[in-house]
Amino acid sequence: MRAICILIVAVFVLTGCWDHREIEELGIITGVAIDKPEDSAQSHMLTVTNQYVLPQSISSQVKSGTSGSKPYVNETVTAPSILQTIREQSKFVSRPPYYYHLKTVVISKELAETTDLLKLTYFFNRDHEIRRSVQVFISEEEAETLFNIAPEEDKVPSIYLDKITHNYTTKTAEMAPTISLGDISKYFSHQKSFIIPFASLKENAIYINGGVIVNADSKKVVGVLSKDETRAFNWINERSQGGVIEVFGVDEGQQHPFTFEIKKMSSKVTPNYQNDILTYDIHLSFQGKLGEDWSYDSDQFNQEYVEKQEKAIEERIQSIVVNSIEKAQKEHKVDYYELMEPFRINYTKEWYKIKDDWNQFFTKANFNVDVSVLVEHYQDVGRKLPFKP
């Protein structure tokens, strides 16, 4: 009797694999590229490329230890909407598109400059198969071209693109922070402008360098950030704890370069609003080491020389930040630095009066930028050559 009871309970508890799906039978998509159609007559259409991973190809390469054929295939369709491109692909692809493993969405800059990004990403944020954590990029070239570059480290371009972004927090400040589908939806719902990582091709390799500005009002890309502008954004918002600062000479007339490697940094942004005048006090603090110094007579045991180096680094950082903010105010005319947030928190009543014209208000704000640098230690301690007085 006991055995019968156990069997009856097992029928309901041990459901087995009644809903399993063989991985070889799935059309696993890891990347989606969205472009403008080449035919100008199709300006109302979208060209969508899905990157399908071939599990059996990856498995055979691992077993044999050889590269073999590409472990992915790209399928491209042009249609009026994202959903329609999926339905069109179902007509000639044996495996139905499966988006649970989607890693990246790449949108061409040409398309992003003329298309409402909220509408363009609407399908991805609403579809039940697609995670809101999927990373989004803007490409300088046609987005599809990035999916045709197969690096040696990772055979699937869309997965490789996702992994590159892991470097921005500790290795470099010249990459825009990662941004997901969910982040984009959040920024638009709060009417905040933001930046998206900018991907491009260089010498047959994928590079992520800088970012593009998305205006919350137009919901389109309105500008491209240089590496210095991207660094200024990351520093002000404490988005990166790494990277290097290049400085040429500690004394006037010297051109010997040295490099400061950032190990830790912090930022404090304080808004002050009086008599309808907005002023931001920005304090940036950096700690790190001297990674490289090309000066023969550098004396790193000399406190006076070290202080000169710190001052030169501070001036270099301050110049980058001040020039970048000025360009945001006069050229881009968009607050992509997210400076509205500290103002909203500190001056809530005033915020509600000007929030609809915030970008215009931002262009008239004043900025005081203060930088402090501490050189903690050196790559090579001491003098490079015997000091000659």
Asked if the structure places residue 8 within a domain, the reply is: no
How many of the other CB atoms lie within 10 Å of CB of 373? 22
Looking at per-residue pLDDT, the higher value among 39 and 273 belongs to: 273
Looking at per-residue pLDDT, the higher value among 34 and 257 belongs to: 34
pLDDT grade, residue 389 (50/70/90)?
Answer: very low
Q: Are residues 131 and 200 in the same domain?
A: yes
Residue 250 amino acid letter = V
DSSP per-residue string spanning 320-350: HHHHHHHHIIIII---TT-THHHHHHH-HHH
Tell me what the mean pLDDT of segment 89-99 comes to. Answer: 81
Strand locations in 124-254, DSSP E?
Answer: 135-139, 194-202, 205-215, 220-225, 244-248
pLDDT in tens, 210-243: 999 999 999 999 999 999 999 999 999 999 888 8
Residue 224 amino acid letter = V
pLDDT grade, residue 318 (50/70/90)?
Answer: very high
pLDDT at 88: 87
Tell me what the mean pLDDT of segment 105-126 comes to. Answer: 94
Which pTM does this prediction carry?
0.86
Q: Are residues 110 and 211 in the same domain?
A: yes
Report the distance separating Cα 86 and Cα 93, nearest Å.
Answer: 10
**Domains in the chain, number:** 2
Residue where one domain finishes, among candidates 199, 225, 251? 225
Look at 50-64, 199-213, 243-257, 316-330 and tell me which has the smallest mean pLDDT: 50-64
Residue 67 has pLDDT above 60, yes or no: no
Q: Are residues 244 and 190 in the same domain?
A: no
Which residue is associated with the tokens 């309970």? 9
For 180, the 3-state DSSP assignment is: strand
pLDDT in tens, 8-43: 776 666 666 655 555 556 788 999 999 999 876 677
CATH code of residue 375? 3.30.300.210
pLDDT at 64: 46
- Mean pLDDT is highest, among 60-64, 120-124, 168-172, 205-209, for 120-124
pLDDT grade, residue 143 (50/70/90)?
Answer: very high
Tell me what the mean pLDDT of segment 291-304 comes to. Answer: 66
263 forms bridges with which residues in the sheet?
none
**Residue in 388, 389, 373, 385 with CA at minimum distance from that of residue 295:** 385
pLDDT in tens, 339-349: 999 999 999 99
Residue where one domain finishes, among candidates 164, 192, 225? 225
Tell me what the mean pLDDT of segment 48-72 comes to. Answer: 69
Report the distance separating Cα 89 and Cα 82, nearest Å.
Answer: 11
Residue where one domain finishes, among candidates 165, 190, 225? 225
Q: Are residues 207 and 234 in the same domain?
A: no
Residue 378 has pLDDT above 90, yes or no: no
Q: Are residues 177 and 279 in the same domain?
A: no
Tell me what the mean pLDDT of segment 290-294 comes to. Answer: 73
**Residue in 126, 102, 98 with CA at minimum distance from that of residue 34:** 102
Asked if the structure places residue 13 within a domain, the reply is: no
Q: Are residues 301 and 385 in the same domain?
A: yes
Number of separate helices (H) and strands (E) present in the chain:
14, 13
Tell me what the mean pLDDT of segment 70-76 comes to. Answer: 90
Q: Are residues 235 and 275 in the same domain?
A: yes
Q: Are residues 361 and 259 in the same domain?
A: yes
Residue 151 has pLDDT above 70, yes or no: yes
What is the extent of the structural domain holding 220? 19-225
pLDDT at 285: 96
The two tokens of residue 367 are 């900025």
The values of phi and psi at residue 122, to 5°, are -55, -45
Question: Pairing mode, if any, of strands 97-98 and 205-215?
Answer: unpaired
Tell me what the mean pLDDT of segment 306-324 comes to. Answer: 92
Residue 82 has pLDDT above 70, yes or no: yes
Which residue is associated with the tokens 């808004």? 271
Q: Are residues 248 and 138 in the same domain?
A: no
Q: Could you tell me the end-to-end alpha-carbon distance of the chain, in angstroms, rounded to an integer?
A: 101
